[in-house]
Amino acid sequence: MTSSSPILKQTPKFLSALEGQSHANPPVWFMRQAGRYLPEYRAVRATAPDFISFCFDPEKAAEVTLQPMRRFPFDASIVFADILLIPGALGQKVWFEAGEGPKLGDMPSVESMAEKAGEAGKALSLVGETLTRVRSALDPDKALIGFAGAPWTVATYMIEKGSSDRSGARTFAYQNPETLDALIQVLVDATIDYLAMQVDAGAQALKLFESWAEGLSEPLFDRLVTQPHIRIIEGLRARGVTVPIIGFPRGAGTLVEDYAARTPVQGVALDTSASAKLGQTIQKTKTIQGALDPLLLRAGGDALLKRVDEMLEQWNQGPYIFNLGHGILPDTPIAHVEAVLERVTGQKVGQ
C-alpha cells in the first residue's frame, strides 16, 4: 500500500502517532524547520520587506513552509506564521526590528480587544490561505500543523511590549489579577476562533505554544496555563473541531505531569530538560513529542547521535513524535539535521 493509493488512504504517520500508535521509526519534524538555517529560506525572506509582511504573504509563507518538506523526510509541516499575529489582530501594534526581538505598541483596553476576539480568524485569514496552499501541495502522507501562541505566553509579550525581562508579566499577574484574567479570556476566545479557521483552511493538527511557562508557581500555572488550555480545547471541540491538539508547556518542570493529566490534549511536547521517566509516565495516556537539545543538534558529533539513540530507546516503546525541545538554531549545519533524520527514519538522507 502506498500513500498515494486512491483506494486505501493511509493515515499520515504523524497523525497516527497522535492517535496513540507507536512506530518502529517514529514520525519526526523540527520546531522552526522552516527557518534561517536553510539557504532557500533566507533567499525568500530577503524578498519580504519585514517579518510580519512575510507572515501575511501566503505565497511566500507557503513556499518556506514547504521548503524543509522537499529537502528532508519530515512527517509534518507547520504553517509559517508567528505567535504574535494575535495581538495584531486585537489591535496592538507588533513589529520586528532587525537583530532584536519583537516590539509591541501600547496594549489596547481589554474591552476593545474583547470586541475583536471573535473575529480573530477572519482578521488572520491570510494564514488560512497559506495553510490551504500548503495542504494542496503537500504529499498525502505528510501532515499539516496549525498553531497559536498560548494565552499566557502571548499575554507576556502584550504586557511587556517586547522586553526580554519576563518578570514584568508575572508581577502584573500578581498585582492585577482581574485585568489579567480578563485579558487571558480574550486571548482564549481569539485563539479558539483563529485555530478553528486554521482547521477549516486545511490544518490536520494544532499546537499550542506555551513558550514562557517557566518560573510560574503551581497555582499561577493552573490559572494561567492549564485552565486556559482546557477552555481553548473545549471551545474548539464545541465548534466541531476534531483534529488532534498538542500542548507545549515549555519550562514547566514538575508541573508538566499534572498538565498532561488534566488538559484534554492528545500530545504533550516536552522541552530539553524532560526526564525519561516524565515522558514514559505521560505516554501511558498521551503521545509525547520532543525533546532533542537544539544546541546539541548544532554542535553535532558523536554526542548527538548517542543522544538520539537514548531518546529512541527511552521513548519509542510508546506513542512518540521525534522533535527538538525548542526551535532549531539559525546556524545549525544542514548535515547535522540529515544525520539525525537518518538515525530516526532509518533511511539514507541527503547526499
The packing angle between helices 227-238 and 151-160, to 10°, is 120
User: Are the beta carbons of 266 and 298 closer than 8 angstroms?
Assistant: no
Question: Where does this chain touch a second copy (CB under 8 A) — which range of 104-112, 114-122, 167-175, 184-192?
Answer: 167-175
Give the total residue count for the chain.
351
> Could you give the residue ranges of the DSSP H alpha helices within 213-301?
218-221, 227-238, 256-262, 276-283, 294-299
Q: Is 274 in the site for a second copy (CB under 8 A)?
A: yes
Q: Is 174 in the site for a second copy (CB under 8 A)?
A: yes
Question: Where does this chain touch a second copy (CB under 8 A) — which range of 103-111, 225-233, 301-309, 342-350?
Answer: 301-309
Q: Least distance to a second copy from the beta carbon of 276, Å?
A: 6
- Pairing outcome for strands 94-96 and 102-104: antiparallel
Residue 32 is a catalytic residue: yes
User: Which residue in 37, 41, 157, 259 is the catalytic one?
Assistant: 157
Q: Is 218 in the site for a second copy (CB under 8 A)?
A: yes
Q: Least distance to a second copy from the beta carbon of 281, Å?
A: 9
Is 34 annotated as a binding-site member?
A: yes
Q: How far is CA 83 from the centre of its chain?
A: 9
Question: Where does this chain touch a second copy (CB under 8 A) — which range of 8-16, 22-30, 89-97, 268-276?
Answer: 268-276
User: Which residue in 57, 82, 189, 193 is the catalytic one?
Assistant: 82
CB nearer to a second copy: give 111 or 302.
302
Q: Least distance to a second copy from the beta carbon of 267, Å?
A: 18
Q: Least distance to a second copy from the beta carbon of 272, Å?
A: 5
Neighbours of 5 (CB within 10 A): 10
What is the C-alpha separation between 193 and 124, in angstroms, rounded? 10
Residue 302 is a catalytic residue: no
Q: Is 309 in the site for a second copy (CB under 8 A)?
A: no
CA dihedral (290, 295, 299, 303) positive or negative: negative
> 107: which residues sit within 8 A by CB, 6+ positions away?
87, 92, 113, 158, 159, 161
User: Are the beta carbons of 112 and 173 closer than 8 angstroms?
Assistant: no
User: Which residue in 45, 71, 298, 307 is the catalytic one?
Assistant: 45
Residue 36 is a catalytic residue: yes
Which backbone phi and psi does 147 adopt, to 5 degrees?
Answer: -155, 165
CB nearer to a second copy: give 13 or 250.
250
Q: Is 251 in the site for a second copy (CB under 8 A)?
A: yes
User: Are the beta carbons of 145 and 76 closer than 8 angstroms?
Assistant: yes
Segment 220-239, which members bind a second copy (CB under 8 A)? 220-221
- Of the CA atoms within 13 Å of residue 31, those in its CB half-sphere come to 27
CB nearer to a second copy: give 48 or 230.
230
Q: Collapsing DSSP states into helix, strand and coil, what is residue 76?
A: strand
CB nearer to a second copy: give 118 or 301.
301
Copy the grid coordinates of residue 147.
Answer: 498553531
Residue 223 is a catalytic residue: no
Q: Which amino acid is at 70?
A: R
Q: Is 47 in the site for a second copy (CB under 8 A)?
A: no
Site residues (CB under 8 A) for a second copy? 167, 170-171, 174-175, 177, 214-221, 251-258, 271-278, 291, 293, 295-296, 298-299, 301, 303-304, 307, 310, 325
**Per the annotation, where are the binding residues for substrate?**
32-36, 51, 82, 157, 211, 326
Active site (catalytic) residues? 32, 36, 45, 82, 157
